Amino acid sequence: MAVERTLSIIKPDAVAKNIIGEIYSRFERAGLKIVAARMLHLSREQAEAFYAVHKERPFFKDLVDFMISGPVMVQALEGENAVARHREIMGATDPKQAEPGTIRADFADSIDENAVHGSDAVETATQEVNFFFGPDELCARTR
């Protein structure tokens, strides 16, 4: 298994619920290390650019409105098989379909407001990490 990096976003609903620490604990228990992190309030332009792949989908405008409704916590996570491992602990997009004990099963209210984002493949993970973080902001966790 390879060491990978993936992008995580704790979305405005979960930030509002004050569960950043709870979600970070789950990353750490899963063997994922935070190698960069930032809180920010996305602009409409940033949210549209980040989710550009969905721009033709019917939910696009609502998704962008939701993502700019409050601050988000963005982090790059590193670990063995990090992309798939992170998706596993997030759970399915629709919390009603998510496995018990996953972040979305435990904390998401709906398919629209579903607490967290995670890159879905190694290639998109690289693009998404680079969307938010420059090379100087990614820390080596070798100690």
Other Cβ atoms within 10 Å of 50 Cβ, number: 20
The residue number whose beta carbon is nearest to ligand UDP equals 93
User: Residue 51: CB partners within 8 Å, gap ≥ 6?
Assistant: 60, 63, 64, 67
CB 141, min distance to ligand UDP, A: 25
CB 35, min distance to ligand UDP, A: 21
By beta-carbon proximity to ligand UDP, the closer residue of 32 and 136 is 32
The radius of gyration of the chain's CA atoms, rounded to the nearest angstrom, is: 14
Q: Is 117 a catalytic residue?
A: yes
Distance CA(143)–CA(137), nearest Å, equals 17
By beta-carbon proximity to ligand UDP, the closer residue of 54 and 141 is 54
Which segments are annotated as binding site for ATP?
11, 59, 87, 93, 104, 114
By beta-carbon proximity to ligand UDP, the closer residue of 13 and 78 is 13
Q: 115: alpha, beta or left, given left = phi > 0 and alpha = psi -120 to 50?
A: left
CB 140, min distance to ligand UDP, A: 28
Residue numbers at the binding site for ligand UDP (CB under 6 A): 59, 63, 93, 111-112, 114, 117, 120
By beta-carbon proximity to ligand UDP, the closer residue of 22 and 113 is 113
Element (H, E) at 4: strand 3-10
**Residue among 105, 82, 75 nearest 92 (CA):** 105
CB 96, min distance to ligand UDP, A: 12
3-class SS at 51?
coil
Of these residues, 41, 54, 86, 117, which one is catalytic? 117
Give me the active site residues, please: 117
